[in-house]
């Protein structure tokens, strides 16, 4: 090979090397320049991980209340009121079921006209076997206080004995005399006195 040809070959290889080097450099620059854009695009299009979505926090006092939340307390309150009403009515029925027994002046013997009422009381006590009653004797204001206490006691005991004769257990019956201390009616005439000569029944359980 001649020296001239050798020079030509060397120059050719140098030229190829330079061209190859420039091409590689340009390719590197292209990758580096497009890389940030690719990363930014990936950030924008990537789905958000589960559980990272922002949630609006609502204060407790502004949270809506469903109909079921309010219905239950109202229902419980309504049931409580009904139970109280039933209890009050039950007490009134029991009180009304036991008739007051009235007496003649200065007497503790049971009137014939009052025996039907006593029979009704006995029937009620028989139907309500757990009920216990206190039989309270009263007198009008005429007479001495001690005398009226004794008279009220005789009236209460007379009624108790009559109920026992009709089959009511004496353990369910107790007596107490108030004499003239608790009048049912105020006044100083026969109308008031007739209402005060009496025996009343009070449930004690």
| Model confidence pLDDT, tens digit, residues 85-95 | 545 545 544 45
Percent of the chain clearing pLDDT 70 (strictly above): 53
Q: For residue 131, what pLDDT is reported? A: 94
Q: Is the Cβ–Cβ distance between 160 and 170 less than 8 Å?
A: yes
Q: Which residues contact 27 (CB under 8 A, 6 or more apart)?
A: none
| Residue 126 backbone phi and psi in degrees, to 5 | -65, -35
- Residue range 7-62, pLDDT digits in tens: 566 656 665 555 555 444 444 444 444 444 444 544 455 455 555 455 555 555 55
48 domain-assigned = no
In a domain, 152, yes or no: yes
CATH number for the domain harbouring residue 103? 3.30.1330.60
CA–CA distance, 102 with 140 (Å, rounded to integer): 11
Q: Backbone dihedral region of 148: left (phi > 0), alpha (psi from -120 to 50 degrees) or beta?
A: alpha
User: Max Cα separation, the chain?
Assistant: 171
Q: Which of 46-55, 67-76, 148-157, 158-167 has the lowest mean pLDDT?
A: 46-55
172 lies in a domain?
A: yes
Q: Is position 139 within any domain?
A: yes
Cα–Cα distance, 102 to 80 (Å, whole number):
39
- Domain annotation covers residue 17: no
Query: Which tokens hold the place of 124?
Result: 């009620």
Name the domain count of the chain. 1
Residue 99's pLDDT band, with cuts at 50, 70 and 90, is very high
Q: What is the pTM of this model?
A: 0.55
Poorest-confidence range of 36-40, 167-171, 173-177?
A: 36-40
Closest CA to 141 of 199, 100, 192: 192
- Cβ-Cβ contacts under 8 Å for 43 (sequence gap 6 or more): none
Closest-CA residue to 201 (of 87, 186, 185, 168): 168
* In-domain check, residue 96: yes
| Domain span holding position 171 | 89-203
What residues have CB less than 8 Å from 126, skipping those under 6 apart? Answer: 167, 168
36 is a domain residue: no
Burial 47-76 (b: 16+ CB within 10 A, else e): eeeeeeeeeeeeeeeeeeeeeeeeeeeeee
In a domain, 69, yes or no: no
The yes-or-no verdict on residue 133 having pLDDT over 90 is yes
């Amino acid at each position: 090979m001649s020296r001239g040809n050798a020079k030509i070959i060397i120059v050719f290889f140098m030229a190829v090397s330079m061209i190859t080097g420039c091409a590689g450099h340009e390719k590197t620059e292209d990758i580096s320049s497009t890389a940030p854009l690719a990363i930014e695009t990936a950030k924008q299009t990537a789905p958000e991980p589960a559980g990272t979505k922002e949630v609006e926090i609502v204060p407790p006092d502004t949270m809506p209340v469903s109909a079921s939340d309010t219905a239950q307390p109202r229902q419980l309150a309504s049931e409580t009121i009904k139970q109280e009403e039933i209890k009050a009515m039950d007490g009134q029925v029991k009180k009304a079921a036991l008739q007051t027994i009235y007496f003649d002046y200065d007497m503790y013997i049971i009137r014939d006209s009052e025996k039907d009422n006593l029979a009704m009381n006995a029937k009620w006590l028989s139907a309500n076997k757990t009920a216990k009653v206190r039989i309270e004797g009263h007198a009008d204001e005429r007479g001495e206080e001690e005398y009226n206490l004794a008279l009220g006691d005789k009236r209460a005991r007379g009624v108790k004995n009559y109920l026992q004769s009709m089959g009511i257990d004496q353990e369910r019956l107790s007596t107490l005399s108030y004499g003239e201390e608790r009048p049912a009616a105020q006044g100083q005439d026969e109308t008031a006195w007739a209402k005060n000569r009496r025996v009343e029944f009070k449930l004690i359980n």
